[in-house]
Amino acid sequence: MTKKYFGTDGIRGKVGQHPITADFFLKLGWAAGRVFASEGHGFVLVGKDTRISGYMFESALEAGLTAAGVDTRLLGPMPTPGIAYLTRTLRAQAGVVISASHNPYYDNGVKFFSVQGTKLPDDIEQKIERYLDAPMTTVDSSKLGKAKRLVDAAGRYIEFCKASVPTRLDFSGMRIVLDCAHGATYHIAPHVFSEVGAEVVTIGAEPDGLNINDECGATKPEKLAATVLDYRADFGIALDGDGDRLVMVDHKGEIVDGDELIYIIAKSRLNAGQMTGPVIGTLMTNLGMEHGLKQLGLDLIRANVGDRYVMEMLTEHKGILGGENSGHIICLDRTTTGDGIIAALQIMAEMQDTGKSLHELKSGMQKYPQVLINVRTAKKMNPEQDELIQKSVKAVEKKLGDNGRVLLRASGTEPLIRVMVEGQQEDLVKNYANQIADDVKKAMGA
């Protein structure tokens, strides 16, 4: 059954435009409340990031849940993985996250976690959507839900993060720069890293409701890189607005992306005898990571783009580690969802155990140059069904052999064909990508 509102990562869009409106969130809270009430008794956690519209949507969801007869525990600003953890450990019926992750402040969205701390199953999302199309009602006044604020939420999550690395490790010799993206980790991440002993220089921790992800954080690590060099820090940590992405910077100011970080954690787990199953990446995972893992004797399986699909493949193949080059990193042996703070701690633990710098650890894999060209089309089209495009792709694949790859994807949201080529030589990769992009344009003209 096709879903009307829920995408691969909840519901997201521009504030004030349907469905990201106060009246829709009121109805959504009620619809979700009706489903949760029918599934059993208990309370629902509601947390948010720091964007200004979070106040409005928090109130609307709370009102809707209350009208459906469901109790609410309000967490205030809290990282998405923190809400997943608290949902599980507090045995809540569900957790609700008000966030648009790495998007600008004028976007917002909502996603749900189950009592297990994982994304809601499709059938529950479909039940919620059915109620969204039904008239809204209110339970009898004696059965209305109640709302309370959970005051120790941040402290609980801080302790959980610290417990993800052995207490024997001493990080007191490390100087780090931490960029919180003016987001939901601003009052949590600095405590985590300082309490495990590191010297922490914090930037991006002064949210005003409008500056979340603004030229900072995991999507814009350039400021972090400059600050690492200024303070002669050992490395830098960049989180995104809701704390589920991680990008790092080594002591030379070089950016270390999600693929390289996953490789480091995979090698660490393997050396400790703790690695099980394959590593799960996505269609966009760099070929250099695949080759690096192969040299370690580890398999890489590619899922569709999106942490939801990575999680599905991890479950199917009984793996413990997966993620995306954007910095979503899932360590299932530590937690139930992508978590930027916990992933960073795993990297720090490996640095401490091996005595190697982040720069040395990432050198185990060599990233291949990757060129991505977006070709705008007059209408949506499937490149796999066009003879000219497929002929062009096969010609390039033959030239690249095992040392490169080609990926063509039709955008799911706009009329674009994404042409991606990877290979060992950057100039050749650029030429091949432009060649295929030109053939895509010719095919559209034809």
Catalytic residue positions, numbered: 101
**Both structure tokens of 352:** 């401490």
Q: Exposure of 402 by Cβ count < 10 A (0-12 exposed, 13-18 middle, 19+ buried)?
A: exposed
CA distance 389 to 439: 6
Please spell the DSSP secondary structure of 49-69, one letter per residue: -S-TTHHHHHHHHHHHHHHTT
CA separation for the pair 185, 182 (Å, rounded): 8
Cα dihedral value 412, 209, 199, 268, nearest 10: -20
Q: Which pairing describes strands 71-77 and 370-376: parallel, antiparallel, or unpaired?
A: unpaired
3-state SS, residue 219: coil
**Distance, CA of 364 to CA of 267 (rounded, Å):** 9
Q: Tell me how far apart the alpha carbons of residues 337 and 420 are, in angstroms, rounded to a whole number.
A: 28
Q: Which residue has the tokens 């960049």?
A: 238
How far, in whole angstroms, is CA 171 from its chain's centroid? Answer: 26
DSSP state of 204: S
The token duo for 86 is 């608290």
Structure tokens at 204: 């991006």
| N-terminal to C-terminal alpha carbon distance within the chain | 35
Q: Determine how β-strand 199-203 pairs with β-strand 175-179.
A: parallel
Q: Answer whether the bond into residue 19 is a cis peptide, omega within 30°.
A: yes
